[in-house]
Amino acid sequence: MLFPTLAFGVFFLIVYFTAWSLDRENGKRKLFLLLASWFFYAQWDWRFVGLLIGSAILNWGVAALIARDRERRGVGPGEKGGNGWLVALGATANLLILGFFKYYGFFVQEAGELLARFGWERDLPLLQIVLPVGISFFTFQGVSYVVDVHRGKTPPAKSLLDVMLLMSFFPHLVAGPIVRASDLLPQFDRTPRLTREMATHGLLLIVWGLFKKTVIASELSTHLVDPVFFDPTAFGALDIAAAVYGYAVQIYCDFSAYSDMAIGLAALLGYSFPRNFDQPYRAASMQSFWRRWHISLSSWLRDYLYVPLGGGRRGLLASCINVFITMVLGGLWHGAALTFLAWGALHGGVQVIERLGRAVFRRPEGAEERRSVLLTVVGVLVTFHIVCLGWILFRAESFDLALQVLEGLGRAGPAVMLTPLLLALIVGGLAMHWLPPRAIEGMAERLKGAPSITLGLLIGAAILLVEAVRPEGVAPFIYFQF
């Protein structure tokens, strides 16, 4: 059940009205939301609801053991402490689940090829494993919950129901954002309040997300990116360049649309999710890009991978190695393929160069931080094109295909696929990064005072516009596969 479908619309209306009719009984409300989330997840494959339940029980149990151990040792709230083995147990169990479903086939295949090179050909047990939708997201959420309880950043959940809802809550279940326990568990303690500002913001985010996904991303994907990346040798430089830029816009509009809709849906149910995108193509450096792109993942990688590796505490060299390892593993998180590893390595490598550059050209102490407009523009352009280079690796199904795309950028030829409409969508998709940074919030602030009929008509008209131009059916979100 995808967000931009009629079935989901009907499902959400039922959930919305039922959930608010239970506003005086928070426990029953949470139970209802949990059952609705399981129903939502079961639309993909009901068997994996069991995995979701098992994962939640595992994390709840480990966190409870950690909390009891901390209490026994007298570790106060906010302090890090307790048995490290329990945390390791919880994190390992989560990663084993993720590893089995996501990476088993990849590693067995790679190991088989490696053995064959040394003349040890073996029939390794290959399994056709179906990847549960959103497993990376709820597994990362489980890890963060266990580690945060150990670090004293969040108290253990008051009930198993809270942990289950934390991991299964349908707006963020299949493609994030990765909502931390410290963000969501306190909101589960009492029936949430819905304010006009929250509701208006949520409705606008849903409409904006619908537009980005079903109009921009779908149109670019169907009519430009997919055909060009299917056979790059059939197209000239103009089409291939347009497809690369088009994919940059498509993946942004696709993924940020899901996040926007997830945040909006949660807001209509009274819950607040953190922002996940912040105009990423405005970034003037790769470090800045990762502070704006998939913020919930980049902050997760920082807190649970980069910092435990040592972060920047052991000097420049160690920090460069740590950031490189973090980005490579971040690439591997996106998918079990060498192209994703290369994508992570590219991002990690550029960040290492940036760090070294900053260390070499460091300003003297007390010097005023001033950056010229020209340098910023150059930084934005360079960063954007490095990101686009990464997207070629990200989108191509193999290295060979990625190389064909790169070769095609030097091949002259007429624009066959690129049309004025597609060009306008690419330019528009990039131009939206230069809107005021909090444009939706500002609009919500203005509209929250409007009568409900006026706002309802405006929202209805906006959805009608989107519905009129969208193609029949809708492709799954790109990040579902991760």
CA distance 427 to 439: 19
Q: Which is nearer to another protein, 436 or 456 (CB)?
A: 456
Q: Which is nearer to another protein, 232 or 330 (CB)?
A: 232
Q: Which residues fall within 8 angstroms of residue 22, CB to CB, at 6 or more apart?
A: 28, 29, 32
* Residues 295 and 274 sit within 8 Å (Cβ to Cβ): yes
Q: Which is nearer to another protein, 131 or 415 (CB)?
A: 415
Tokens of 462: 């906006």
Phi and psi at residue 74, in whole multiples of 5°?
Answer: 75, 30
Q: How far is the CB of 467 from another protein (least distance, A)?
A: 5
Kindly name the residue from 172, 201, 223, 334 that is annotated as catalytic.
Answer: 334
Q: How far is the CB of 405 from another protein (least distance, A)?
A: 14
Q: How far is the CB of 20 from another protein (least distance, A)?
A: 6
Q: Which is nearer to another protein, 149 or 242 (CB)?
A: 242
- Start-to-end CA distance of the chain, whole Å, equals 17
CA distance 52 to 58: 10
Phi and psi at residue 150, in whole multiples of 5°?
Answer: -65, -40
* Residues 435 and 281 sit within 8 Å (Cβ to Cβ): no
Assign 251 to helix, strand or coil.
helix
| Of 44, 53, 61, the residue nearest 7 (C-alpha) | 44
Q: How far is the CB of 233 from another protein (least distance, A)?
A: 6
Burial track 167-183 (b if 16+ CB lie within 10 A, e otherwise): bbbbbbbbbbbbbbbeb
Q: How far is the CB of 389 from another protein (least distance, A)?
A: 23
Tokens of 286: 């790769």
Q: Which is nearer to another protein, 131 or 459 (CB)?
A: 459
Residue identified by tokens 């690129």 is: 418
| Of 60, 23, 273, 238, the residue nearest 156 (C-alpha) | 60
Tokens of 328: 């490579």
* Residues 242 and 419 sit within 8 Å (Cβ to Cβ): no
Residue identified by tokens 């990376």 is: 136
CA distance 384 to 375: 14
Q: Which is nearer to another protein, 179 or 417 (CB)?
A: 417
* Residues 466 and 207 sit within 8 Å (Cβ to Cβ): yes
Q: Which is nearer to another protein, 176 or 236 (CB)?
A: 236
Question: Can you say whether residue 400 is alpha, beta or left, with left for phi > 0 and alpha for psi between -120 and 50 degrees?
Answer: alpha
Tokens of 471: 């193609």
Q: Which is nearer to another protein, 376 or 419 (CB)?
A: 419
CA distance 220 to 421: 10
CA distance 290 to 284: 11
Q: How far is the CB of 127 from another protein (least distance, A)?
A: 29
Answer whether the bond into residue 186 is a cis peptide, omega within 30°.
no
* Residues 305 and 322 sit within 8 Å (Cβ to Cβ): no
Q: How far is the CB of 264 from another protein (least distance, A)?
A: 12
Q: How far is the CB of 79 from another protein (least distance, A)?
A: 34
Q: Which residues bind another protein (CB under 8 A)?
A: 5-7, 13, 16-17, 20, 23, 193-196, 199, 203, 222-223, 227, 233-235, 239, 268, 413-421, 452-453, 455-457, 459-461, 463-465, 467-469, 471-473
- Report which residue type is found at 407: E
Q: How far is the CB of 469 from another protein (least distance, A)?
A: 4
Q: Which is nearer to another protein, 21 or 92 (CB)?
A: 21
Q: Is 172 a catalytic residue?
A: no
Catalogue the active-site residues: 334
